[in-house]
């Protein structure tokens, strides 16, 4: 189908972006010495919403580059509270929404302040890579809990999570929507997780950074908003940075859903909040308040890319294991059937010229897998898939 059938003018513009333009942008994803197609960093090649760009222009003209003026923080908190109420019926006092430089800073804060000393961090795998590596920097051990792959996609293994709490786990990392599997957990799944956490007296770090990027037919439910119990045992991080492509502007939000955490944060949160940047706050408020129409078009474009990945794999590479993601722009590909020399990521980089994340970076369960980021111009995605198919077909021949 033509780009016009998938979002009109914006889709046509995105289709026309060339690899040379992307390389000239100098990003880590594209300005690679090996010239490979960049499919390993979770960012979109699509710029951001016009409403965000306009707000940033105004901000630059205002010259408000001193330490964050109070109204910028207040505007960001209000816009986040409005978004959470509008999209998810999660009603919060804006004061409960605290600025972070990024979600990872929120994770580090959770390790320091919301995880009992000496307890371990429970990370369902495959996982976003830093959840496995950051805890060591805070002196925390990780317990990897492999998810189970069923016909409907990946799901948490509740018995294994319960056993991990019994083995000294204190804080469960709940990434939803989930990177890298693309799952959007249902109310029943989240409730079952909550029952385990509650029974074990555990805590949850809910990373909901991918919430804006959920595809049709699925619905994101903020975990902390499920019940009084989840509000009491959870600290949540959200951000506009994935949905609106703003990670370099340095602003995310920590959502505190109980009085005790809010009181503790007043004592300990200063240094973390200090990292949030003025332009990030401005961009976040503009994205949440006025970025919706752009996001809708981007989701349509991503749905087309997702369909292309699924159709291509089914037709050309049926030996690649793949569950169609319900959210995100991450494809988690199981190439273990090919038994590729040096592992699949190195093989695809060297033989196909496509740079993906090695699955093993996402946990031991990721052996034989790669993580492919499909938020790129559609013609480049097709080129990447063709090159992957050619390399795998040559290898298998
Ligand atoms: C699940 C998840 N959490 C956090 C991050 C990083 O977010 P930030 O740049 O705000 O730290 C990413 C980036 O890909 C992610 O996928």
Q: Does the beta carbon of 104 sit less than 6 angstroms from any atom of ligand 1?
A: yes
| Crossing angle for the helix pair 130-137 and 103-113, to the nearest 10 degrees | 50
Q: Does the beta carbon of 103 sit less than 6 angstroms from any atom of ligand 1?
A: yes
Residue with CA at minimum distance from ligand 1 atom 14: 42
Q: Does the beta carbon of 208 sit less than 6 angstroms from any atom of ligand 1?
A: no
Torsion of CA 235, 120, 367, 30, to 10 degrees: 50
* Token pair for 392: 């795998």
**d(C-alpha 371, C-alpha 171), whole Å:** 25
For 319-361, write each residue's pLDDT tens digit.
999 999 999 999 999 999 999 989 999 999 999 999 999 999 9
Q: Does the beta carbon of 251 sit less than 6 angstroms from any atom of ligand 1?
A: no
Judge whether residue 270 has pLDDT over 80.
yes
For 230-252, write each residue's pLDDT tens digit.
999 999 999 999 999 999 999 99
Residue with CA at minimum distance from ligand 1 atom 15: 128
Q: What Å distances lie between residue 209 and 8, 193, 245, 287, 337, CA to CA?
A: 27, 19, 11, 14, 32
* Cα torsion 242, 245, 248, 254: sign: negative
Looking at residue 206, its pLDDT comes to: 98
Judge whether residue 259 has pLDDT over 50.
yes
**d(C-alpha 192, C-alpha 131), whole Å:** 22
Looking at residue 277, its pLDDT comes to: 97
d(CA 103, ligand 1 centre) in Å: 6
**d(C-alpha 274, C-alpha 291), whole Å:** 26
d(CA 242, ligand 1 centre) in Å: 8
Q: Does the beta carbon of 180 sit less than 6 angstroms from any atom of ligand 1?
A: no
Structure-token match 């805590």, residue found: 203
Which CATH number among 3.40.640.10, 3.40.50.720, 1.10.1380.10, 3.10.180.10 corresponds to the domain 51-290? 3.40.640.10
Q: Does the beta carbon of 297 sit less than 6 angstroms from any atom of ligand 1?
A: no
The number of the ligand 1 atom at minimal distance from the alpha carbon of 131 is 3
Q: Does the beta carbon of 252 sit less than 6 angstroms from any atom of ligand 1?
A: yes
Looking at residue 6, its pLDDT comes to: 53
**d(C-alpha 311, C-alpha 297), whole Å:** 21
Looking at residue 371, its pLDDT comes to: 98
| Crossing angle for the helix pair 50-62 and 278-290, to the nearest 10 degrees | 140
CA 45, distance to chain mean position in Å, is 15
Where do the H-state alpha helices sit in the chain? 8-15, 19-24, 50-62, 70-88, 103-113, 130-137, 158-166, 187-200, 228-233, 259-268, 270-273, 278-290, 292-316, 344-347, 378-396
Q: Does the beta carbon of 128 sit less than 6 angstroms from any atom of ligand 1?
A: yes
Q: Does the beta carbon of 247 sit less than 6 angstroms from any atom of ligand 1?
A: yes
Q: Does the beta carbon of 232 sit less than 6 angstroms from any atom of ligand 1?
A: no
Q: Does the beta carbon of 207 sit less than 6 angstroms from any atom of ligand 1?
A: yes
Looking at residue 396, its pLDDT comes to: 87
Classify strands 357-358 and 354-355 as parallel, antiparallel or unpaired.
unpaired
The number of the ligand 1 atom at minimal distance from the alpha carbon of 252 is 10
**d(C-alpha 309, C-alpha 289), whole Å:** 32
Domain with CATH 3.90.1150.10 in the chain: 3-47+292-396
* Token pair for 346: 């190195």
Looking at residue 236, its pLDDT comes to: 98
Domain with CATH 3.40.640.10 in the chain: 51-290
Span 3-47+292-396 CATH architecture: Alpha-Beta Complex (3.90)
Structure-token match 């249902």, residue found: 186
* 158 within 8 A of 196, measured Cβ to Cβ: yes
Looking at residue 2, its pLDDT comes to: 44
For 130-176, write each residue's pLDDT tens digit.
999 999 999 999 999 999 998 889 999 999 999 999 999 999 999 99
For 36-84, write each residue's pLDDT tens digit.
999 999 999 999 999 999 999 999 999 999 999 999 999 999 999 999 9
d(CA 123, ligand 1 centre) in Å: 15
* 147 within 8 A of 292, measured Cβ to Cβ: no
The number of the ligand 1 atom at minimal distance from the alpha carbon of 102 is 10
3-state secondary structure of 76: helix
Which helix (DSSP H) or strand (DSSP E) does residue 145 occupy?
A: strand 142-146
* Token pair for 282: 């401005």
The pTM score is: 0.97
CA 325, distance to chain mean position in Å, is 12
DSSP 261-296: HHHHHHHH-HHHHTT--HHHHHHHHHHHHH-HHHHH
Q: Mutation test of ligand 1: which of 38, 104, 330 has the most ligand atoms closer than 8 Å to its C-beta?
A: 104
For 363-380, write each residue's pLDDT tens digit.
999 999 999 999 999 999
């Amino acid at each position: 189908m033509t780009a016009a059938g998938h979002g009109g003018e914006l889709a046509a513009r995105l289709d026309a972006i060339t690899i040379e333009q992307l390389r000239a942008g100098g990003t880590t994803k594209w300005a690679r010495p090996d010239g490979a197609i960049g499919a390993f960093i979770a960012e979109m090649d699509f710029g951001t919403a016009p409403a965000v760009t306009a707000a940033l222009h105004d901000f630059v003209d205002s010259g408000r580059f001193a330490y964050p003026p109070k109204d910028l923080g207040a505007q960001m908190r209000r816009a986040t509270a409005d978004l959470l109420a509008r999209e998810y019926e999660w009603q919060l006092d804006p004061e409960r929404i605290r600025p972070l430089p990024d979600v990872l800073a929120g994770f580090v804060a959770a390790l320091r302040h919301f995880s009992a000393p000496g307890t371990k961090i429970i990370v369902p795998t495959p996982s976003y890579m830093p959840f496995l590596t950051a805890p060591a920097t805070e002196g925390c051990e990780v317990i990897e809990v492999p998810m189970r792959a069923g016909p409907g996609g990946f799901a948490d293994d509740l018995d294994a999570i319960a056993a991990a709490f019994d083995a000294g786990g204190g804080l469960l990392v709940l990434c939803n929507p989930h990177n890298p599997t693309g799952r959007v957990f249902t109310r029943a799944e989240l409730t079952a997780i909550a029952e385990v956490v509650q029974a074990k007296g555990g805590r949850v770090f809910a990373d909901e950074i991918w919430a804006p990027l959920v595809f049709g037919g699925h619905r994101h439910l903020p975990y902390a908003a499920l019940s009084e119990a989840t509000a009491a045992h959870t600290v949540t991080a959200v951000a506009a940075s994935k949905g609106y492509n703003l990670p370099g502007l340095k602003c995310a939000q920590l959502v505190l859903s109980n009085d005790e955490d809010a009181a503790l944060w007043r004592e300990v949160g200063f240094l973390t909040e200090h990292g949030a940047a003025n332009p990030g706050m401005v961009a976040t408020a503009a994205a949440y308040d006025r970025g919706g129409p752009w996001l809708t078009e981007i989701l349509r474009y991503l749905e087309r890319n997702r369909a292309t990945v699924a159709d291509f794999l089914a037709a050309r590479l049926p030996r690649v294991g793949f569950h169609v993601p319900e959210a995100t722009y991450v494809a988690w590909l199981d190439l273990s059937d090919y038994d590729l020399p040096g592992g699949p990521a190195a093989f695809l980089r060297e033989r196909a010229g496509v740079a993906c994340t090695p699955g093993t970076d996402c946990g031991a369960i990721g052996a034989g897998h790669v993580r492919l980021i499909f938020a790129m111009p559609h013609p480049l995605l097709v080129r990447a898939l063709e090159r992957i198919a050619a390399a795998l077909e040559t290898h298998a021949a």
